[in-house]
Amino acid sequence: MTAEGSNAKEFIGVDKECLTWSYRGLRIVELLHGMNTDLLCVEECDQSEFLTKYLSSTYECYHQPKDKAPARHVMTQFQEERKDALPPDFKLNNDGIFLAFKKDKFEKIGSVIRIKDSENEHHVVGLALHLREKQSGKNNEFVIVGTHLKSEKSEEGEQIRQKQVRWLLDHFSNIRLPIILACDLNANPKVKTIV
């Protein structure tokens, strides 16, 4: 499914029932299990509890929510629009980075590295895990980093993304292991016309 059309949030040619979380959430879990991948990284994940519940038999799961997530603005709008109509325990989850790895393939070394967007000047949110392959005769270790760059599609947004990447490179420059960077780059491709 891709968002197309005049509204970037609009799904074209998709039954509305397919977009409800009660349907879509379980299909996502089925897909993830079916792909049988060793490592998972999901950006803009606001359903980490759901994913953890249905993946934890196979995967060890971690989530780093954004401190400055759009959910806080949407929640404020809900409260203003619907006043007392919302149940008292109603909440929206902050989206963030979700990382998971197969428990039978890898073990986590040390602590989880959490990067909070409110604690650095470029508002980078991220999550990093130092992992070791369990069944390898060699000492195969690596770091997986998940992050989500600024989404604004403008020259200013591109400059912010460049600063965020530089910050990440500096932040992890002292690690002497292979690094896998899983990232929503949020950049528009540059198209060159050849005449």
Pick out the chain residues at pLDDT < 70: 1-10, 71-86, 88-91, 137-138, 189-195
pLDDT of residue 85: 66
CA distance 41 to 145: 9
What's the domain count of the chain?
1
Per-residue model confidence (pLDDT) at position 11: 73
- Bridge-based pairing of strands 59-65 and 179-184 is unpaired
Tell me the pairing of strands 126-133 and 39-45: unpaired
User: pLDDT value at position 90?
Assistant: 65
Asked if residue 193 is part of any domain, the answer here is: no
Residue type for position 170: D
User: Does the global pTM surpass 0.75?
Assistant: yes
Q: Is 192 within a domain?
A: no
Report if residue 191 sits inside a domain: no
User: Which has the closest alpha carbon to 55: 38, 75, 80, 78?
Assistant: 38
- Tens digits of residue pLDDT in 23-73: 889 999 999 999 999 999 999 898 899 999 999 999 999 999 998 777 666
Amino acid, res. 189: P
**Distance between CA atoms of 94 and 67, rounded to whole angstroms?**
7
pLDDT at residue number 22? 82
CATH number at residue 116: 3.60.10.10
pLDDT for 131 equals: 96
Q: Residue 166 has what pLDDT?
A: 93
Domain membership flag for residue 101: yes
Domain assignment present for 194:
no
The dihedral over CA atoms of 91, 95, 97, 99, expressed in degrees to the nearest 10, equals 40
Question: Between the CA atoms of 178, 109, 59 and 150, what dihedral angle is there, to the nearest 10 degrees?
Answer: -50
Domain that holds residue 165: 16-184
Domain assignment present for 4: no
Measure the CA–CA gap between 163 and 94, rounded to whole angstroms.
24
Predicted pLDDT of residue 185: 85
Q: Answer yes or no: is 102 within a domain.
A: yes
Whether 79 maps to a domain, the answer reads yes
* Numbers of helices and strands, H then E, in the chain: 5, 7
